[in-house]
Structure 1
């Protein structure tokens, strides 16, 4: 019995497992190092940044960004984008306020918020996959649509006084520690998304779709169906973030999470995910989220204005798109220079001797010339 097939079958997962460490040697590793340096420098230069109290607030601040960045990573890797996530958060928050004001319990409201987010994501997915519209144009449109619907529901008013046991848990800590209660469920979701992206056929399909969705479709990957469910998952997570945002601040407003999509996209691209799709790791995205939110937190403690924070976020977004392309171009140029030139064609070592004298005349079969 041949052992060639099992050997190949065991080598393929090994090659897949070795790809992640090789990726971490590039942009991802640089982002991780830069994140550590930012935390160290900010702890030594910004007053109160290194305290456990501020660490708790920092985690609570980065939680919604990280949650939204998880499905956003999968969407961008597949070659698409979703700019409506923050508006979905705002609309589900407004829906929670409306339902709470009408007497529904939070045990019912929170699942409805997640379901509403999934429906909003499905609407995005239908426009992108069924109608074939560009995801950038679609989600810019639904960004405005969902935010407008939030204002239709609540207007400029706010709904407050949510159940205290829920709001206390959202901002509370594990036991007597400074670690927020939201850390374990967030770590669980990060693990699930990391396994899906890097250790399952679904993740490999996403990378193939981002590299060339036409070739992926010819290879048998259900491209349109996969992208549709990506938007559904992104909407459901945005609905969950809407519930978290509402309960953390104990306020449902139509402008909740306004502008957060810029931070989410910047963190994903800063983490090394290619805007063109087909490349990226979830570890790099987590580092990008921590880097961006830590920098914003440090600048806020240093009394930097909100407008300046927006400038910093926009600058990092541009750099996260520009620098990987520049480094890739430089790496390709250096590789071409380092490649040895093709050797000239070699002359034969012993050329055949030229015939001496005139060539003999051809003769007929009977021997006559």
Structure 2
């Protein structure tokens, strides 16, 4: 019995990854897409510092990191989801719903600390809804999260309409904006770095993370290997909802405004950063340090373009172009690698001689 197209694609991806691990460790680290993104980040940052006025200041660094924080937060669990072969397009809507909940509860007189906990719980529930529909009902994650994108955003807008809540405790807003001395680095980066370390350890050094990679390569093979497929995916979606809600709290305090339309379109930047950082859209491949570099690369580009007075529409076009390139480039590189390998095999195969 022949392989189905989906199984054949999974086998091809598995063969490529096995071939990658046949190379020496230094080649896997230096000659990788993640390293290329890090190098691109450094080059773009240096060029922007030279070309764009005021880019290389500590003030710009501070605002760049503040702007990149919600994307970086959501990109961490999004990496887990995409590595498993799924996707979550509802993250920005979950952020918006969390923002509205924080505003409504704070206005109603709830202590903001309690309101934050409730917002995280709401995010977990939103993630559980996505996970239930994908793992239990068996619907494709793309269709599910497009639906919940509209659902969560509709609930957020319905709760506040076109109004905004702007009264929040000053000490919390000040904490989000606070910097370490004159370095320009926001204090909130301590939380971000801690989460980067946690998600990196989970993805690369735990059975749960190895199960995500196995799922991305082949769901059937992962199940035969002992991976609880549904439970693993469910947890990944739940984490995405929780961290998206955390990003909603940050967004609300940073901008001092709870609105139903907060962070519309942010999912585009998140997915673009994850894919740009080397995570395969088909699952089974990726590294957290590449994702962090991808987020910072997009942040540096957007910050430099804004300082250069480029319009927001043009910036969105560039972000979309990066997303398309991120999806296409692995396919193109894989095609060239396959052709080169086939050419080497044909040259190394001895010609058959005809019998006398």
Give your verdict on TM over 0.5. Answer: yes
Higher helix share: 2
**Aligned-residue offset at 1:338:** 1.8
1:242-283 deviation line (CA, Å, top 9, x unaligned): 100001111111111111000000000011100000011111
Residue from 17, 39, 45 that aligns with 2:45: 39
Find out whether 1:29 has 2:38 as its counterpart: no
Instruction: Provide the aligned C-alpha RMSD in A.
Output: 1.8
Q: Is the 8 A contact 1:67 1:186 kept in 2?
A: yes
Contact 1:147 1:255 in 2 (8 A): yes
Matches within 5 A, 1:211-222: 211-222=217-228
The answer on whether the counterparts of 1:167 and 1:250 sit within 8 Å (CA) in structure 2 is yes
Deviation, 1:177, is 3.5
Q: 1:181 aligns with which of 187, 194, 201?
A: 187
**Hey, what's the Cα distance between the residues in 2 that align with 1:20 and 1:149?**
50
Name the structure 2 match of 1:241.
247
Q: How does 1:329-368 map to 2 (within 5 A)?
A: 329-339=335-345, 340-344=347-351
2:85 equivalent among 64, 79, 90: 79
Specify the alignment match of 1:11 in structure 2: none
SS in structure 2 at match of 1:216? helix
CA contact (8 A) 2:58 2:183 kept: no
- The aligned length equals 334
Asked if 1:163 is matched to 2:169, the reply is yes
322-331 or 53-62, which deviates more: 322-331
1:194 correspondence with 2:200: yes
Unaligned 5+ runs, structure 2: 1-20
Which of 56, 67, 73 matches 1:61?
67
Partner of 2:295: 289
Deviating beyond 6 angstroms after TM superposition, the runs of 4 or more aligned structure 1 residues are: 18-21
Change (3 A) 1:107 1:225: same
Q: When the two structures are superposed, what TM-score results if normalisation uses the length of structure 2?
A: 0.90
2:215 aligned residue (206, 209, 215): 209
| 1:318-362 CA-partner distances (Å, limit 9, x unpaired) | 0011111101110111111122342256899xxxxxxxxxxxxxx
Cα pair 1:162 1:250 within 8 Å, conserved: yes
TM-score, length of structure 1 as denominator length = 0.87
Q: Output the CA distance in 1 between the equivalents of 2:312 and 2:183.
A: 30
Q: Which runs of 5+ in 1 are unaligned?
A: 1-14, 349-369
